[in-house]
Structure 1
C-alpha cells in the first residue's frame, strides 16, 4: 500500500495499535527525512510492515485505508506453499526413519569407535530434523498470518515547511535564549556591583568627600573677611 497521510509519525502509531487490536503485530517501522519540490523543502516519510491474522486481512486493509487521505497504490499477492510443505513432510519422515535405524545400530554396536561414529551421524540427522520442523512451523505461521507493507507519504499541504534548513520556531527559540542570557548578565553585573564595587567606592569616596568639604570651608572662610 502507498498511502498519503497527514502525519506519517502519527499514522505509524495508529496503524501499529490497529494491528495489535486485530491480533497482529508490527514487523518493522522506519521514519526518515526526504527532500521534495526544488530540494529546499524536507518532510518526514515512513514505511511500516505488520502481520495480521489471514482471516482478518480484508478488515485490516479497510481500516488502514480509512486512516489515509489518499490511497496511491495497492497490490495484493499470495504464494502457494503447498508443494514446499508436502516436500518438507516427506523429508521429515525419511529423516525420522533414519534416526530410528541409527538408534538401533548404536544399541547393538560393541566397539567404542563404532558407537562414536553412529552417534555423530545421529546428531547430524537430529539437527536436520529440527531444521525441517522449523521450516514447517514457519510455513504454518505464514499461512495463518498475512503481511501488509505500507509506504506512508505526508500530505505536503499539512506539513510544517523547512526551507533551506531554516526553521522559524528554531530562530524564535534562539532569540528568546539570547534575551534571557542578556538579562542574566545584567542581573549578575548588578549583583557584583552591589556586593563588590559599592563598598570599595564607599571606602574611596568618603575620604575624598571630607577633603573636598574641608577645602570648600577654608575657601569660604577666606572670602568672609574680604566681604567685610
Structure 2
C-alpha cells in the first residue's frame, strides 16, 4: 500500500521540479538581460553616469554612419487585365507561350462561344507568375491586343508572417520541453498526460506551418486574371446544301403530318357533336319556313284595285 501511493507523488514532484527549472531558467535569462541594460554602479552604490554621454555620442555616430535597415514589405499582388483581340484562339496560344517564358503556371481557362445575347467570342484565363516577373508579364500581355482595363492590388501580410513565425517558434520550444519531460516521466499516467499535450502541440504546429507556407507562396507568386474578347462578332458558317435540303424536307413533312392530324381531330369532334349540330340546323330551317309562310305581303302590283 505504501509503495503504491508513493510512486505517483514522486513522479508528480519530479515533473513539477522540471517545470520549475524551466521557469527559473527563463526568469534568470530575463534578469540577465535587464542587468545588462542597466548602467554600471559606482563604489558608493550610485549609478555611474559619467560614461553615458560618451556612449550616447558613439551610438549617435554609429546611427549616422550606418543607415537603418528596413524590412521588405511582404505583399500579395493580384492583377487583372482585359483585352480586345482579333482572334481569341490565337491569343490563347500566345498566352501559353508567355506563361512558359515567364516560368509561370496556368491556373484556369474558360472559353465561351458566341450566343444570341453575346455574339462575341470571349475567354477568361487565370495564371500565376513569380512576383518579380509580374510587370514584364503584364507588358507582354498588353501587346496581344487593345487594353480595355488594367489594375493591380496588393495586400501587405508582413505582420501576419511575423506573428505566425513567432507562434511557430514558441510552439517548437514547448514541444522540445514536453519531449524532455516525457522522456523523464516515470508513471504511465504521467506519460499519457504529457503525450496528449505533446500531440495537441504538434497538431497546432502543423496548422500554423501550413498557413505560413501558404502565405509565403502567395507572396512569392502573383495571380493574373486575363479577359479576352473578340473585336468582331463571329457568325456561324452556313450549313451545306444537302443539310439545308434535308432540313427543309423534314420541316415540310412534319408540317403535313401535323395538318393531317389536325383535320382528323376536327372530324372526330364533328362526329361526336353531330346530333347537336343536326338539331341546330333543323331549328334554323323550321324557323325560316315559318317566317316565309306567315309574313304579310308588303308590296302590291301596279294597277290592282281593292273590291268591297
Interval containing the TM-score (normalised by the shorter chain): 0.5 to 0.7
SS state at 1:161 partner: coil
SS state at 1:61 partner: helix
- C-alpha distance in 2, partners of 1:29/1:98? 46
Equivalent position of 1:182 in the other structure? none
Equivalent position of 1:108 in the other structure? 184
Equivalent position of 1:47 in the other structure? 124
Change over 3 Å in CA distance of 1:8–1:173 after alignment to 2: farther
- 2:182 paired with 1:98: no
- C-alpha distance in 1, partners of 2:174/2:202? 10
Structure 2, unaligned runs of 5 or more: 1-80, 248-308
- C-alpha distance in 1, partners of 2:175/2:137? 45
> What is the total number of aligned residue pairs between the two structures?
167
Contact 1:106 1:119 in 2 (8 A): yes
Equivalent residues in 2 for 1:173-188 (5 A)? Answer: 174=243
- C-alpha distance in 1, partners of 2:164/2:182? 27
Structure 1, unaligned runs of 5 or more: 179-228
Q: TM-score, normalised by structure 2?
A: 0.49
Change over 3 Å in CA distance of 1:16–1:124 after alignment to 2: farther
CA shift, 1:173, in A, is 7.1
Contact 2:181 2:194 in 1 (8 A): yes
Alignment RMSD (CA, Å): 2.4
- C-alpha distance in 1, partners of 2:208/2:114? 43
Change over 3 Å in CA distance of 1:176–1:112 after alignment to 2: farther
- 2:235 paired with 1:161: yes
Where relative contact order (Cα < 8 A, 6+ residues apart) is larger, the structure is 1
Change over 3 Å in CA distance of 1:172–1:56 after alignment to 2: farther
Equivalent position of 2:226 in the other structure? 150
Work out which of the two has the higher radius of gyration on C-alpha atoms and give 1 or 2: 2
**Higher percent of residues as helix:** 1
Equivalent residues in 2 for 1:78-97 (5 A)? Answer: 78-97=154-173
Q: TM-score, normalised by structure 1?
A: 0.65
Measured against aligned partners, the alpha-carbon deviations of 1:31-58 in whole angstroms (never above 9, x if no partner) come to 123536xx3x634311111111222211
